[in-house]
Amino acid sequence: MKNYRLAADERGFALLAVTLVLALLGVVVTELAFSMRLEAAMVRTYKDAVLARHLAEAGVQQAIREILSDATVHGLDDDGQVVFYNVAQTGATPKAYPKLPRSHVRLGSGEFSYRITDEEGRLNVNTRAPGTLERLLTVLEIDKDVRDIISDSIEDWRDTNETHRINGAESDYYLQQPVPYRSRNANLQDVAELLQIQGITPAIYYGHDDKPGLVDLLTVRSRGINININTAPKAILQGQGLSDAEVSDVMQSRATRPYGVVPPRYTTRQFITGSTTFRIESQGLIGGEPRARLMVIVQRTVGLSGAVPVLAVFTWRTLPSRPAAPAATTKSGAS
């Protein structure tokens, strides 16, 4: 009887040991399967990111192909993108070049999409004519005290000294911020620098509600103070001092066909009809979803007649794969 009880105890212990080993083996196998699945997902994500980056770069290259055409006049399509025109001779009707596909262009196992917009349809914050920035901020319905802060702070950012204007700011102000930095004391090199300047909030920079943001209205890379009358947004035309009737006239006239030459009534307003500096926003898509975005600013220059055009790249920046939602703001946009 005693031996039977001992044998039963041994069999029970063996069963318990086997159960524990099987449970431990199950945990190990589950952990291994989870690790393998996680590593496979990481590899797939990395592969998609690399592929999407190359697709976005392909979009940039196709955009450059369009920009390097011999177009002399630039207008806008219904989507606000640049259309390239050629004018055979002075006074002739501009003729549009065929547009390459720009949206969901298949390439390998993915797609790319891109937009081309005109930097010379924007106001150059470094070379602007006096009063144009202030008028633009007024058009955007920014309160006067905020306008004064922005205007003076931009000038303090650009000048070579550390003496701030009445409403401006220099390095002593910026060094007191949570992440301290100094004012550039030179011309802006990138429009994104505006976010570092006193008075310019994300809402003012990116836009809000039905108001465009400074990122879409200002540039630091156009050729000078001249604005392309065919591509300038409504707010820029108003900022150039055009009346509501004149703005309506320009936008209606260019809707069907861009101006080949600046109309005589606008020749004193620093307008042009052709551009050389463009902004390309390209994205690579995998499975129909954007996985990589690039923003590139290029300028086309042509030397002597018959010379090959030269393309200068001023900005090549990676953007978040999805645009950030615009921030809520008050009317003035002040924080």
Share of the chain above pLDDT 90, in %: 64
CATH fold for domain 48-319: Ribonucleotide Reductase Protein R1; domain 1 (1.10.40)
Written as one string, the DSSP assignment of 225-266 is S-EETTT--HHHHHHTT--HHHHHHHHHHHHHS--SS--GGG
Domain ranges of the chain: 48-319
Q: CA dihedral defined by 178, 182, 187, 191, rounded to 10 degrees?
A: -20
Whole-number average pLDDT of the chain: 87
Helix (H) / strand (E) element for 128: namely none
Q: What is the mean pLDDT of residues 47-72?
A: 93
Tell me the pLDDT tens digit for each residue of 186-230.
999 999 999 999 999 999 999 988 889 999 999 999 888 899 999
Closest by alpha carbon to 285, among 29, 80, 53, 85? Answer: 53
Q: Which of 30-44, 65-79, 132-146, 247-261 has the lowest mean pLDDT?
A: 30-44
Instruction: Name the CA dihedral angle for 252, 254, 259, 263, rounded to a multiple of 10 degrees.
Output: 20
User: Is it the case that residue 235 has pLDDT exceeding 50?
Assistant: yes
Q: Which of 113-122, 219-228, 289-298 has the lowest mean pLDDT?
A: 219-228
Grade residue 27 by pLDDT with cuts at 50, 70 and 90. confident
Residue 297 φ/ψ, nearest 5 degrees:
-115, 125
Predicted pLDDT at 167: 95
